[in-house]
């Protein structure tokens, strides 16, 4: 711009039309499609920081076999009851040693044991491992002398306890950190479908701007904005494209702006105040469809911000001063980049929370306890996520951890704790669901994720969900509890402050392998007779507190068949155990049985509903969930999956 042009511009009466922040944001967003920009497939090694574009469903169990956690001997726990150093139990040692990678050939019968190493595959019939330190060996008699009793499940990591085949392990919208990468590797994935990263053109303007490293004449400044904005774009999941410094020349700026439209979003810094020499505004004002939607916002700093949209792409002129530029970037641009990239960024921090459950700890060792953050009526609640050292999903789903001092043996319920967040993007989910697991619920939550809601799920059983809902620690509890007195599901269990939203019907029954002669062609009564009288017929149970466990105990009427002490956390885990021959039968819903190719003998039709605290009914995520239950397309998906709605 020559001297005459600058003087003419200076004589013009030009004023910003200042509007409020909310109004500016609404006008800006009204012309944008705030959604991810498409998908691409990347290798697992290149997936760090990317955002999942689809749900990830496991097609294997993790682990894929029952595994010993210690060096010792595979036993039937009942054979060790009463054993101590003064009254040891003698058991016959099988002629087999199970090192890692060795498939068992012999079953552990009553009165026998099999030597097993850490990581070894637990043989059929065994339901516990006694540590080698608690035994002695009588070589002459080939007998193991057991000096300490063990309980069912002790020192065993059960197949599918971490991840069961058919389980949704990661959901659409998840940002892949090192923890999620571990989950994907654990289920054997080599490639992953992610949202494409938005490209962001960054243009610095002004005759007085020089790039870092160049000579700095008097009256000039280094271009720090481009570096700041580039790093910020990268942190938000975008790909910055620095197009350099453009001097105060209208045609040069027009030309580079045309190049910038090859990107998804365009940022200019400087030249927005409508003063002499501020060419960015002049050039951007030439854009149409609709062009500039806001110029001047009631912010301090950042008042001269200019927001435009053209060809469906955001074009933003940030103030030239670095402080103003970064404030306005995070106020107006960052949300758009996050929407385009499918993720949200929050600062890393420690947060105060309340521990809703009592936690025991071993004195003499500092303990790190993974927790999931839930928004309760009185603030954040930190739910323990378990202490298992081998669970990749527990680590991936945790929000943070608390440190328990080595001198502390117990943290009481309702204790105040400090949570160390695992990553900077951790924040309470939009929707917290605690209760019974169901694949129909998985379908609903996946649909909500596509609508932009983040969901956190904790499977603790129907009774655990009711308690969490009554304490205001979840938005929704999935339940299927039968009241024996009324024959009614779920409604009789509501307490003050809770309401029930109708879900759908499903059918529970006995599942078994198609070729299993124990059950094939038999009625439920005959199947139960076989299951409870044949010592070689192993069951897989459900976790205490689940609605299915209550049904199982009613069905068995006090009997405890072989395998009763082995508990699975979900219907998928039950089906996986039966399919792989680790158990011969279990109770699960017909939808899961069909998905795993198992035979199904009906037991009882039941109602799976959703308990909601009344105080949560107006939350946007809860409203969206209830609306989804009434959506006919969603209802058809549930029907197609085998549910009655």
Q: What ranges do the domains of the chain cover?
A: 3-36+197-341, 39-62+162-195, 67-157, 350-421, 430-645
Q: Residue 635 and residue 619: Cα distance in Å, rounded?
A: 22
Read off the pTM. Answer: 0.62
Read off the pLDDT of each residue in 372-388 and give the average, rounded to a whole number. 74
Question: What is residue 476's predicted lDDT score, i.e. its pLDDT?
Answer: 96
Q: Report the relative pairing of strands 39-43 and 191-195 from DSSP bridges.
A: antiparallel
Is residue 163 a contact partner of residue 187, using CB atoms and an 8 Å limit? yes
Read off the pLDDT of each residue in 209-231 and give the average, rounded to a whole number. 82
Element (H, E) at 251: helix 250-260
Q: Residue 447 and residue 571: Cα distance in Å, rounded?
A: 21
The pair of three-digit structure tokens given for residue 455, joined into one six-digit string = 């969901």
pLDDT bracket for residue 597 (50, 70, 90): very high
The pair of three-digit structure tokens given for residue 269, joined into one six-digit string = 């810094």
Residue 511: name the closest of 531, 482, 529 by CA.
531
Read off the pLDDT of each residue in 304-316 and give the average, rounded to a whole number. 93
Read off the pLDDT of each residue in 132-142 and give the average, rounded to a whole number. 94
pLDDT bracket for residue 121 (50, 70, 90): very high
Residue 218, pLDDT above cutoff 80: no
Report the mean per-residue pLDDT for the chain. 87
Residue 565: name the closest of 113, 148, 154, 114 by CA.
154
pLDDT bracket for residue 365 (50, 70, 90): low
Q: Residue 527 and residue 517: Cα distance in Å, rounded?
A: 10
On the question of a cis peptide bond just before residue 301, with omega within 30 degrees of 0, the verdict is yes
CATH topology classification for 67-157: Molybdopterin biosynthesis moeA protein; domain 3 (2.170.190)
The pair of three-digit structure tokens given for residue 598, joined into one six-digit string = 């198992």
- According to DSSP, residue 188 is labeled T
The rounded percent of the chain whose pLDDT value lies above 70 is: 91
Read off the pLDDT of each residue in 13-23 and give the average, rounded to a whole number. 69
Phi, psi of 126 (to 5 degrees): -80, 140
Comparing 439 with 128, which gets the higher pLDDT?
A: 128
Comparing 213 with 538, which gets the higher pLDDT?
A: 538
Question: What is residue 424's predicted lDDT score, i.e. its pLDDT?
Answer: 60
In CATH, what number does 3-36+197-341 get? 3.40.980.10
Is residue 149 a contact partner of residue 84, using CB atoms and an 8 Å limit? yes
> Other C-beta atoms within 10 Å of 240: how many?
21
pLDDT bracket for residue 59 (50, 70, 90): confident
Tens digit of each residue's pLDDT (9 = 90 or more) over 97-120:
999 999 999 999 999 999 999 999
The rounded percent of the chain whose pLDDT value lies above 90 is: 53
Question: What is residue 7's predicted lDDT score, i.e. its pLDDT?
Answer: 41
Question: What is residue 344's predicted lDDT score, i.e. its pLDDT?
Answer: 63
Is residue 579 a contact partner of residue 597, using CB atoms and an 8 Å limit? yes
- CATH architecture for segment(s) 430-645: 3-Layer(aba) Sandwich (3.40)
Q: Residue 232 and residue 329: Cα distance in Å, rounded?
A: 9
Phi, psi of 394 (to 5 degrees): -60, -45
The pair of three-digit structure tokens given for residue 407, joined into one six-digit string = 């001198």
Question: What is residue 2's predicted lDDT score, i.e. its pLDDT?
Answer: 52
Question: What is residue 21's predicted lDDT score, i.e. its pLDDT?
Answer: 78
Residue 199, pLDDT above cutoff 60: yes
Q: Which of 153-167, 206-220, 337-351, 487-501: highest mean pLDDT?
A: 487-501
Residue 395, pLDDT above cutoff 70: no
SS (H, E, C) 451-502: CCCCEEEEECCHHHHHHHHHCCCCCEEEECCECCCCCCECHHHCCCCEEEEE
Residues 6+ apart with CB under 8 A from 593: 509, 511, 575, 599, 600
- CATH architecture for segment(s) 350-421: Beta Barrel (2.40)
CATH topology classification for 39-62+162-195: Molybdopterin biosynthesis moea protein, domain 2 (3.90.105)
Residues 6+ apart with CB under 8 A from 159: 61, 63, 64, 65, 66, 67, 576, 577, 580, 582
Tens digit of each residue's pLDDT (9 = 90 or more) over 512-568:
999 999 999 999 999 999 999 999 899 999 988 788 998 899 999 999 999 999 888
Q: Residue 229 and residue 166: Cα distance in Å, rounded?
A: 42
- Of 317-326, 418-427, 635-644, give the lowest mean pLDDT range: 418-427
pLDDT bracket for residue 211 (50, 70, 90): confident
Comparing 402 with 192, which gets the higher pLDDT?
A: 192
Residue 328: name the closest of 256, 267, 275, 261 by CA.
267
């Amino acid at each position: 711009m020559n001297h005459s042009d600058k003087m003419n511009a200076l004589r013009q009466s030009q004023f910003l039309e200042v509007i409020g922040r909310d109004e500016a944001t609404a006008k800006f967003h009204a012309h944008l499609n705030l959604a991810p920009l498409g998908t691409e497939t990347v290798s697992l090694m290149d997936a760090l920081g990317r955002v999942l574009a689809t749900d990830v469903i496991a097609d294997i169990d993790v682990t894929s076999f029952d595994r010993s956690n210690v060096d010792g001997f595979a036993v039937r726990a009942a054979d060790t009851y009463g054993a101590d150093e003064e009254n040891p139990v003698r058991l016959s040692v099988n002629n087999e040693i199970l090192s890692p990678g060795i498939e068992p050939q012999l079953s552990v019968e009553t009165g026998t044991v099999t030597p097993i190493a850490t990581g070894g595959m637990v043989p059929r019939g065994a339901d516990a491992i006694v540590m080698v330190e608690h035994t002695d060996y009588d070589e002459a008699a080939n007998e193991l002398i057991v000096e300490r009793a063990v309980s069912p499940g002790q020192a065993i990591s059960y197949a599918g306890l971490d991840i069961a085949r058919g389980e949704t392990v990661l959901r659409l919208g998840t940002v892949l950190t090192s923890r999620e990468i571990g989950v994907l590797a654990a289920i054997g994935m080599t490639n992953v479908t992610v949202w494409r990263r938005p490209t962001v053109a960054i243009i610095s303007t002004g005759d007085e701007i020089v790039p870092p490293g160049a000579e700095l004449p008097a009256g000039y400044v280094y271009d720090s904005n481009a570096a700041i904005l580039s790093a910020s774009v990268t942190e938000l999941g975008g790909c910055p494209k620095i197009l350099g410094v453009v001097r105060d020349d209208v045609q040069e700026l027009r030309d580079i702006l045309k190049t910038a439209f090859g990107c998804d979003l365009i940022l200019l810094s400087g030249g927005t105040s409508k003063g002499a020499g501020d060419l960015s505004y002049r050039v951007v004002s030439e854009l149409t469809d609709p062009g500039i939607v806001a110029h001047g916002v009631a912010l301090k700093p950042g008042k001269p911000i200019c927001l435009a949209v053209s060809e469906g792409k955001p074009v933003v002129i940030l103030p030239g001063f670095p402080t103003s530029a970064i404030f306005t970037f995070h106020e107006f641009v960052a949300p758009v980049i996050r929407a385009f990239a499918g993720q949200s960024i929050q600062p890393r921090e420690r947060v105060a929370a309340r521990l809703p459950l009592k936690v025991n700890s071993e004195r003499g060792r500092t303990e790190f306890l993974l927790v999931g953050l839930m928004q309760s009526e009185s603030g954040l609640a930190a739910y323990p996520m378990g202490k298992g050292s081998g669970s990749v999903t527990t680590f991936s789903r945790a929000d943070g951890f608390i440190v328990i001092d080595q001198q502390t043996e117990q943290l009481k319920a309702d204790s105040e704790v400090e949570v160390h967040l695992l990553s900077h993007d951790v924040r309470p989910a939009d929707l917290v669901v605690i209760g019974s697991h169901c694949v129909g619920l998985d379908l609903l939550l996946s649909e909500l994720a596509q609508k932009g809601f983040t969901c956190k799920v904790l499977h603790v059983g129907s009774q655990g969900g009711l308690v969490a809902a009554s304490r205001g620690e979840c938005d929704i509890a999935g339940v299927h509890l039968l009241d024996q007195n009324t024959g009614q599901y779920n409604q009789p269990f509501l307490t003050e402050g809770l309401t029930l939203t109708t879900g759908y019907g499903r059918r529970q029954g006995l599942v078994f392998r198609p070729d299993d002669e124990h059950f094939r062609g038999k009625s439920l009564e005959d199947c139960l007779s076989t299951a409870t009288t044949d010592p070689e017929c192993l069951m897989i149970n459900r976790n205490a507190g689940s609605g299915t466990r209550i049904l199982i105990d009613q069905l068995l009427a006090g009997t405890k068949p072989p395998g009763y002490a082995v508990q699975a956390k979900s219907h998928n885990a039950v089906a996986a155990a039966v399919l792989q021959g680790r158990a011969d039968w279990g109770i699960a819903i017909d939808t899961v049985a069909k998905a795993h190719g198992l035979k199904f003998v009906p037991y009882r039709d039941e109602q799976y509903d959703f308990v909601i605290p009344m105080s949560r009914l107006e939350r946007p995520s809860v409203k969206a969930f209830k609306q989804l239950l009434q959506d006919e397309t969603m209802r058809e998906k549930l029907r197609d999956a085998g549910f009655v709605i």
